[in-house]
């Protein structure tokens, strides 16, 4: 039921984002610093562009850990509404009572 490929890609993106976070932030600070010469800022911008795309935090998608679904994601539970409803109907989520849904 789960889309393993998408979930694994997302985990890889999380690892890369964590790995490159400090370097990316340093380069961004240099590129934004108006007191530095334009050549230094441009060089920092080029180095920033050489970093892997998947190393950016904005590439990480909130995905359901049960189904891999990217939409209707509840952050607190780390699952989508579809998985929440399914597991709730089966009584596998403590404290969740299925009403008329």
The pLDDT tens digits for 14-65 are 999 999 999 999 999 999 999 999 999 999 999 999 999 999 999 999 999 8
pLDDT at res. 3: 64
The pLDDT tens digits for 2-17 are 567 888 889 999 999 9
What is the Cα Rg of the chain in Å?
A: 20
């Amino acid at each position: 039921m789960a889309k393993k490929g998408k979930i694994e890609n997302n985990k890889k993106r999380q690892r890369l984002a964590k790995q490159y976070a400090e370097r990316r932030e340093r380069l961004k600070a240099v590129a934004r610093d108006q007191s530095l010469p334009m050549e230094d800022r441009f060089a920092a911008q080029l180095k920033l562009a050489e970093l892997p795309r998947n190393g950016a935090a904005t590439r990480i998608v909130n995905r359901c850990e049960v189904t891999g679904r990217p939409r209707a994601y509840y952050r607190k539970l780390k699952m989508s509404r579809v998985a929440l409803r399914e597991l709730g109907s089966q009584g596998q989520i403590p404290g969740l009572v299925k009403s008329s849904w």
